[in-house]
Structure 1
């Protein structure tokens, strides 16, 4: 298979892959990592002679992804999709691929304990951190965490695996590594540090102190739209390159990576491949989470309810386009601390990216895991507006759209397949409440999402009630049109 991919009509890894050293262990070999961090590292190897390589690991699920990668000598294709043309790149920086349940946890832990490992990076989605999105703290009663604390040498959670590897490195006199989250969370480095250190403290105070003193947790902001891979995507990649690649991914041409330059054991020169190394990532993260991810969620819920399957379908509706643009500039931009960025241009660029007809980014995919996403994408901004006594009606509409969506029935009476780590809590709130005000109050009462204070803010509750009621009576399309007309 290797030879086949190396004959693909694509940019090929012509560098000597034998010289690569697996200095980065990456947890979460999903589509986003393949299309983002690996591409930067591949560019470094191809254009700057870098020898940094990856050991790719999946801990839970994704067995097939790892099997496909191994089958192809750890090569895979990334296709960039624009409206005009597709281009492809075969990425060659993965040295090894492991799955905890297939290759054995010991093999994964041994890989993490190799002396040259300098960075452990993560794309495990928000729910993989076993934390409360509202507070940012580790949930010690999370089933994975409870199990790991009882059996710390056989961990299943990412935090458990990282702490066990660090414990072994400490015992062996090996240096620590940096732990770099590349997931969409505000202050993802701080969240990761909180979770890892809280888990370590629950296990062994001395180990926790060593981790706090020796490990850094750089924050990052990652941006590239990578739709879930479908059979159609793989078919298009095969037509483009002449080679069928089950591990292939497709994404938009745009990519951005802002990294806090805080590494204990060195790092690749990612800035040579276009990354921005900065002292403080937080303002950039907030900008992206609120303007891009917040408007994405807004479009996902209200678009899905209106029958729009893809984000670019929403963009063809002038009212959705106007509402999303106004949400970014009028309600999200004022809450930001970022300096030196033209936010109006950023918003225009986002709308252009959303309109890319080649992407086919499903509203249903973006709508997943809303309980983990709402706090940072919308609710933090709502709190800012309440404090500043300014308008947040579109944010309230977004929250109401989420509430209609998690009700589990669309406007045609069809069942919505809601995917969320708090699904049983959401279903209990929906089942135990009548449609209307009672439903809104029941969902607002979920503390893990809304915290304690927000549900007591009359202005917030009233705005969400009003939007929810209109969505019920008029449907999403007419409601968005109503809000857009008021802009």
Structure 2
């Protein structure tokens, strides 16, 4: 088997599993920064996927190592038992494997002290949120996990699971949506008089704290006895915003084999990432927090400028790379960036379309940040799949590209590169195939609706009309803007006629 860096290595023989019982066999340089056995739980985290384990959990362990505190994490998985099955036999331990062109580094993280599958233990989840020892509930549930309309930020009460949670409130049916679970836990906390708590969203949503506050309020407003709960939440719960940044591709068997060679132990919970990490957090907490600033996080009164830069520069570029790359047949982000035309288009997107819309914090070198992003995208060791980034596009476009487009049009500029990114998404969801005819699965909560509205669209103009008719994605203002419609239609026509190479060439030259 080919290892990273080109060396040929065989698959290692079976080894003991990573756990507290085998941790002493791990070399000191790879061990957790704190003793996991001595760490009490103070954080409940919803959505314990790879990103959380590579990002917030690492910051939290480093903060405890620097300043102490019982800030161990109970990780809650929402959709399946897979993370519980990976980490349960390992006592919550797992390895963070960081790759760059210069090599790899590995560290075992011990911040996750308990695990819970919400689908099997809803009562335990509610009790944990209500426990006085829980002072912080954090979330990485992806954009679609909020069950909201990205264009309006409001709770989708017509969503079948949201409606079932509301209908089941009086019959004590356990809620299945994230917002329903949070409200149930907060109601139990209020009944137990367990004190204030903070709910911290770490997902890629603009003003994610305010969005979460609004969704919790919308859910309470739909309950027959929700007024009292809503008043208690307003007085006792904080919803700070945050901005997170670390690229975390899917783990491969080769990554697990590499960790086994490094540690001498088998780890089924390996997460893969890059050396870079960033976290900006609004410093508004009701019941304390870990000393994340001691771990390198930025605690600030205003996350918005950092958030806009990251969502529009990194995430907007990432989505544009993903859709153009998929159509052109590039499996990984690094392959797409190696395509000179796509790289030039992304550079133009950042410099011409995005940067003029930003309120850059004083002293922040945005030109350096742009170049760093291109360098990070080009990291050949990450193997970040374009198809992974392309998931859930209907939920991502508003904050990643549409905000940039709206602001640019309002300033009298033509955001051609950003509109090509939107057109590439339209081409991807309406055809489901690359230029070479390879099938591309559309993994999106609106996949059926996207297929339905584009089924009879026989021209680029018809595809644009069909998709701009989805207010849950595009709202109502942008579709009514003739300039936006013309730019997207032109981009999709060129993309359809001349392919990715022709479309990026024309966009960069314009």
Question: How would you bin the TM-score normalised by the shorter chain?
Answer: over 0.9
Contact 1:166 1:176 in 2 (8 A): no
Gaps of 5+ in 2: 1-16
Contact 2:405 2:415 in 1 (8 A): yes
2:120 paired with 1:96: no
- Give the 5 Å matches for 1:189-268: 189-203=209-223, 204-268=226-290
Which residue number in structure 2 is paired with residue 458 of structure 1?
482
2:340 paired with 1:318: yes
Which residue number in structure 1 is paired with residue 457 of structure 2?
433
CA distance in 1, matches of 2:480, 2:127: 50
CA distance in 1, matches of 2:33, 2:312: 39
CA distance in 1, matches of 2:454, 2:26: 51
C-alpha displacement of 1:435: 2.7
C-alpha displacement of 1:6: 4.4
Q: 2:383 aligns with which of 360, 367, 384?
A: 360
Pick which of 471-480 and 220-229 moved more.
Answer: 471-480
Which residue number in structure 2 is paired with residue 72 of structure 1?
90
Which residue number in structure 2 is paired with residue 25 of structure 1?
44
Contact 1:183 1:222 in 2 (8 A): yes
Q: TM-score, normalised by structure 2?
A: 0.92
CA distance in 2, matches of 1:15, 1:440: 54
Contact 2:360 2:366 in 1 (8 A): no
Q: Output one character per residue of 1:37-88: Cα deviation in whole Å (capped at 9) or x when no partner.
A: 0001111233443431101111222x11112111101111101111111001
Q: 1:387 aligns with which of 406, 410, 422?
A: 410
The aligned length equals 484
2:137 paired with 1:124: no
CA distance in 1, matches of 2:119, 2:207: 30
C-alpha displacement of 1:19: 2.6
CA distance in 2, matches of 1:17, 1:415: 45
Residues 78 and 342 (structure 1), Cα distance of their counterparts in 2 relative to 1, 3 Å cut: same
C-alpha displacement of 1:230: 2.4
Q: Output one character per residue of 1:87-110: Cα deviation in whole Å (capped at 9) or x when no partner.
A: 0110001111111223x2112222
CA distance in 2, matches of 1:469, 1:241: 53
Q: 1:181 aligns with which of 177, 201, 212?
A: 201
Contact 2:66 2:294 in 1 (8 A): no
Pick which of 257-266 and 46-55 moved more.
Answer: 46-55
Pick which of 214-223 and 383-392 moved more.
Answer: 383-392
Contact 1:430 1:443 in 2 (8 A): yes
CA distance in 1, matches of 2:33, 2:393: 42
C-alpha displacement of 1:5: 4.6
Which residue number in structure 2 is paired with residue 370 of structure 1?
393
Contact 1:5 1:90 in 2 (8 A): no
Q: 1:345 aligns with which of 364, 368, 384?
A: 368
Which residue number in structure 1 is paired with residue 151 of structure 2?
134
Which residue number in structure 1 is paired with residue 445 of structure 2?
421
Secondary structure of residue in 1 paired with 2:222: helix
Which residue number in structure 1 is paired with residue 35 of structure 2?
16
Gaps of 5+ in 1: none
Which residue number in structure 1 is paired with residue 497 of structure 2?
473
Contact 2:135 2:287 in 1 (8 A): yes
C-alpha displacement of 1:410: 1.9
CA distance in 2, matches of 1:13, 1:288: 29
Q: Output one character per residue of 1:328-374: Cα deviation in whole Å (capped at 9) or x when no partner.
A: 11110111123222111110110011111001111111011000011
CA distance in 2, matches of 1:288, 1:376: 10
CA distance in 1, matches of 2:365, 2:35: 41
Q: 1:49 aligns with which of 68, 75, 89?
A: 68
Q: TM-score, normalised by structure 1?
A: 0.97
Q: 1:7 aligns with which of 2, 22, 25?
A: 25
The alignment yields a C-alpha RMSD, in angstroms, of 1.4
CA distance in 1, matches of 2:25, 2:444: 41
Q: 1:292 aligns with which of 302, 308, 314?
A: 314
CA distance in 2, matches of 1:442, 1:14: 53
C-alpha displacement of 1:409: 2.2
Q: Output one character per residue of 1:203-225: Cα deviation in whole Å (capped at 9) or x when no partner.
A: 11111111122111010000000
Which residue number in structure 2 is paired with residue 162 of structure 1?
182
Contact 1:24 1:120 in 2 (8 A): yes
CA distance in 2, matches of 1:48, 1:179: 22
Pick which of 287-296 and 148-157 moved more.
Answer: 148-157
C-alpha displacement of 1:18: 3.0
CA distance in 2, matches of 1:393, 1:328: 11
CA distance in 1, matches of 2:262, 2:434: 37
2:356 paired with 1:334: yes
CA distance in 2, matches of 1:313, 1:272: 36
CA distance in 2, matches of 1:21, 1:261: 23
Q: Output one character per residue of 1:96-149: Cα deviation in whole Å (capped at 9) or x when no partner.
A: 1111223x2112222222211100000000011010000011111111111111
